Amino acid sequence: MITKTIDILYNNNDASDSDLISIINCSDTEYLFTKAVKRRKEYYGDKVFIRGLIEISNYCKNDCLYCGIRRSNITLDRYRLTKEGILACANEGYRLGFRTFVLQGGEDMYFSDDDVCSIVYAIKTAYPDCAVTLSIGEKTKASYKKYKDAGADRYLLRHETANASHYAKLHPSSMSLDTRKQCLWDLKELGFQVGSGFMVGSPYQTDSNIVEDLRFLQELCPDMIGIGPFLPHKDTPFKNEPSGSFLKCLNIIAILRLMFPYALIPSTTALATISPHGREQGVMAGANVVMPNLSPQDVRKLYSLYNNKAFSGSEAAEAIEILKKQMQSIGYRVVTDVGHVAK
């Protein structure tokens, strides 16, 4: 019985590989989500944390096969925000109630470490009660240290898959899982609150790959864990690959909540893109963070990781009132709070 298996996971924050695979694929999810929500409420009550996402650049030196902003995509109009532009987004975000800003971008070599530091420092100086999260890819430990010293609090870097041969099928040969993992260890050692995660249903992914992802996360003990469905982008080699399963994503969110009760788990934009009420359903499966878009309106469509990215309605930071109502309607409360991890 799947309920017995879920009880094992609930009681031990862990389960065997084969039990995890059964839960990943279970279709009677009511019991699973009830347990995940129970655990989530013990740690976070009815709070939903919000993060303002500022997409600072869609230039990228990498060529990840799944990603729409890969450098080989020559059809995409490229943009990067200026420091002033980024500060204007933060200013607007602060006014709207955001107390965490996530600066995300492709690996754009135009921004030197000094540029990144001066942006981080400016935000932290203007809004000392806010956290700054960076999500700008693989850098040297020395660079990460500079960002930390400039005031950056958190760093998001998904490992994407913890299986080296799967990693090689999703990335060009210039990239490696070892480098990705090393970056994550470096970030931890430097004292960042670290976020990692993976796509669900990426091409060639197997259920045992997902278990390997969960095992790697157990090793890493990240503060934040982001997952979402793989979604094809028309100008990538994976354009004809099927999307990841929405239900599988929800099951994995619930599993993550039970394995990592303290974690900050976003209900991601990809989840909201694949299903009309994906955002709410993610929260009802155990997620406790949402990251509305604070980027300037005209660049939102250009930060095109996958097709049909949701960027209007409650995805948009300026529509925070809609988001608040949505969360209220399912029994949760959006809070204006820096929203640190409950570790």
42 contacts: CB under 8 Å, gap ≥ 6:
261
Closest of 126, 122, 119, 142 to residue 134, by C-alpha: 119
Identify which of residues 86 and 136 has a Cβ nearer to ligand 5AD in the complex.
136
Q: Rounded to whole angstroms, how far apart are CA atoms 169 and 338?
A: 37
Q: How far is the CB of 38 from ligand 5AD (least distance, A)?
A: 29
**Which of the ranges 90-98, 145-153, 181-189, 223-231 carries the binding residues for ligand 5AD, by CB under 6 A?**
223-231
Identify which of residues 111 and 306 has a Cβ nearer to ligand 5AD in the complex.
306
Q: Which residue in 199, 252, 284, 335 binds ligand 5AD (CB under 6 A)?
A: 199
**Which of the ranges 43-51, 85-93, 173-181, 224-232 carries the binding residues for ligand 5AD, by CB under 6 A?**
224-232
Q: Which residue in 67, 116, 120, 287 binds ligand 5AD (CB under 6 A)?
A: 67
Closest of 127, 122, 192 to residue 154, by C-alpha: 192
48's tokens: 């939903």
- Answer for the pair 253, 265: CB distance below 8 angstroms, yes or no: yes
Q: Rounded to whole angstroms, how far apart are CA atoms 78 and 131?
A: 28
15 contacts: CB under 8 Å, gap ≥ 6:
5, 8, 9, 23
Q: How far is the CB of 277 from ligand 5AD (least distance, A)?
A: 19
Closest of 176, 172, 238 to residue 205, by C-alpha: 238
Q: Rounded to whole angstroms, how far apart are CA atoms 62 and 296?
A: 24
**Which of the ranges 39-47, 167-175, 216-224, 227-235 carries the binding residues for ligand 5AD, by CB under 6 A?**
227-235
Question: 207-220 and 177-189 helices cross at what angle (nearest 10)?
Answer: 30
Q: How far is the CB of 290 from ligand 5AD (least distance, A)?
A: 15
What element of type H or E holds 232? Answer: none
91's tokens: 């200013």
Cβ–Cβ contacts within 10 Å for residue 235, how many? 15
Q: Which residue in 233, 257, 300, 309 binds ligand 5AD (CB under 6 A)?
A: 233
- Per CB under 6 A, 282 contacts ligand 5AD: no
Identify which of residues 5 and 295 has a Cβ nearer to ligand 5AD in the complex.
295
- Which residues, 69 to 128, sit near ligand 5AD by CB under 6 A? none
Q: Which residue in 33, 44, 59, 66 binds ligand 5AD (CB under 6 A)?
A: 66
Q: How far is the CB of 109 from ligand 5AD (least distance, A)?
A: 18
Q: Which residue in 103, 231, 284, 289 binds ligand 5AD (CB under 6 A)?
A: 231
Q: Rounded to whole angstroms, how far apart are CA atoms 343 and 341?
A: 6
Q: How far is the CB of 301 from ligand 5AD (least distance, A)?
A: 15
Q: Rounded to whole angstroms, how far apart are CA atoms 153 and 129?
A: 12
Cβ–Cβ contacts within 10 Å for residue 154, how many? 22
Site string for ligand 5AD, 153-192 (x = CB under 6 A): -----x-x--------------------------------
Identify which of residues 24 and 335 has a Cβ nearer to ligand 5AD in the complex.
24
Q: Which residue in 37, 187, 259, 305 binds ligand 5AD (CB under 6 A)?
A: 305
Q: How many residues bind ligand 5AD (CB under 6 A)?
A: 12
Q: Rounded to whole angstroms, how far apart are CA atoms 311 and 234?
A: 18
Identify which of residues 99 and 180 has a Cβ nearer to ligand 5AD in the complex.
180
Q: Cα torsion at 170, 175, 176, 181 (round to 10°)? A: -100
Identify which of residues 236 and 314 has a Cβ nearer to ligand 5AD in the complex.
236
Binding site for ligand 5AD (CB under 6 A): 66-67, 158, 160, 199, 228, 230-231, 233, 270, 305-306
